[in-house]
Amino acid sequence: MSRMEGNGVGSVTATVPRRRYPNVTADFRTFAALTVAGFRRYATYRQATFAGAFTNTVFGFLKCYVLLAVAAGAGAAVAGYDAPRLATFVWVGQGLLAVVLLWGWTDLADRIRTGDVVADLLRPVDPVVTYLATDVGRAGHAVLTRMLPPVVVGPLFFEVYVPHRWPTVPLFVASVALATLICFCCRFLVNATGYWLLDVRGPMMLWAFVSGVLSGLYFPLRFLPDWLVGPLWVLTPLPSLFQTPLDVLVEVDPVPRQLTLVGIQAAWAAGLLALCRVVQLRAERRLVVQGG
C-alpha cells in the first residue's frame, strides 16, 4: 500500500476516507435500507418473476424425470439417494436457483463498463457492502416468489422426501444463506474482472459453464467418483452453492457430517468475502491510474 504507486500520484484511493471508529447502529441501518431497496427493486419486475418461476418449474419436470429414470435403471438407491430424495433434490434445487442466482448478475460489470461505478466509490459505504446488502434483498424477494412455485408444484406430481430430523431445518436455512453469500462473492469477483478487462463476456461464459456442472445443478455430484468429489468439495466453493444445501435437506449424511459440510461453506464464505474486499481495494487503486 505504498503512496508511491500510480506514477507518484499522491492520492492512494479514489474513495471518500472511511470512518476510523465503527458506528454499528448506523452501519446496520444503512445495510437494512439497502436490503429493502434491493427487495423493492426486484419486486417491480413482476412479469419477469412469473416467467422465471414458470421456466424453473418446466425444467424441474425435465430434470426430475431424468434422475428418476436413473434411479429406476440402477434398481436401488443411487449414490445414497432413493427416488423421493432425488425428487426433493431436483425440485428444491429449482427453487434455490433464483435465490442463490448463479447466472445473469452483471450489475457491477455494467457499471464498470459505463463508468457509473465512480458513483459507488464516492459513497461513504464500502462497495462490497452495498452490493451485498442489495443482493440480500434480492435473495429475500426470490425466496418469497421464485422458490415457492417449484417447491409447491414438485410434491403435487412426484413423491418427495421430507426431512425427519429437527436439526436439518436450521442447518438447511443456514446452508442456503451461506450458499447465497458464497455465490454473491463469486459473482462479484467475476464482475470485478471488468476492472482489468473491461469486457467480462469471457469470464462470465467460463463461470456459467463451470458453475452449472460443478455445483450439483445438473446431477448430484456424488454420482462422480469419490476421488473427484472430495477435493472438489473442499478445494472449490462450487459444491457449496447447491450440493451442500440440498444434501443437508435430503439427509444423505448423519448430523455431524451435515455440520462439517456447512462448516466448509462458512470457511469459503469468510475467505471469499475477504478476497472480494482485497480485489475491490486493488481495483480502486487501479481506477485512479485509469482516471483523469
Name the residues that contact other proteins, by CB under 8 A: 47-48, 51-52, 54-55, 58-59, 61-63, 65-66, 68-71, 73-74, 78-79, 157, 199, 201-202, 205-206, 209, 212-213, 218-219, 223-225
Q: Which is nearer to other proteins, 57 or 130 (CB)?
A: 57
CB of 50 to other proteins, least distance (A): 8
CB of 78 to other proteins, least distance (A): 5
Joined grid coordinates for residue 172? 438447511
Q: Which is nearer to other proteins, 48 or 152 (CB)?
A: 48
Q: Which is nearer to other proteins, 75 or 256 (CB)?
A: 75
Q: Which is nearer to other proteins, 202 or 263 (CB)?
A: 202
CB of 72 to other proteins, least distance (A): 8
The CA dihedral of 55, 237, 89, 203, to the nearest 10 degrees, is: 20
Q: Which is nearer to other proteins, 224 or 270 (CB)?
A: 224
From residue 239, give the alpha-carbon distance in Å to each of 64, 94, 99, 117, 232.
20, 15, 16, 31, 7
Joined grid coordinates for residue 231? 477435493
Q: What is the DSSP letter of 79?
A: T
From residue 130, give the alpha-carbon distance in Å to each of 64, 117, 123, 134.
37, 12, 9, 6
From residue 27, give the alpha-carbon distance in Å to each of 24, 135, 274.
5, 16, 18
CB of 42 to other proteins, least distance (A): 13
CB of 224 to other proteins, least distance (A): 6
Query: How many C-beta atoms surround the C-beta of residue 54 within 10 A?
Result: 12
Query: How many C-beta atoms surround the C-beta of residue 197 within 10 A?
Result: 13
CB of 199 to other proteins, least distance (A): 5
Q: Which is nearer to other proteins, 188 or 219 (CB)?
A: 219
From residue 275, give the alpha-carbon distance in Å to each of 131, 186, 189, 288.
15, 10, 8, 20
CB of 62 to other proteins, least distance (A): 5
In order, the DSSP letters of 156-225 are HHS------STTHHHHHHHHHHHHHHHHHHHHHHHHHTHHHHS--HHHHHHHHHHHHHHTTSSS-GGGS-
Q: Which is nearer to other proteins, 55 or 260 (CB)?
A: 55
With beta carbons less than 8 A apart as the criterion, state whether 264 and 234 touch. yes
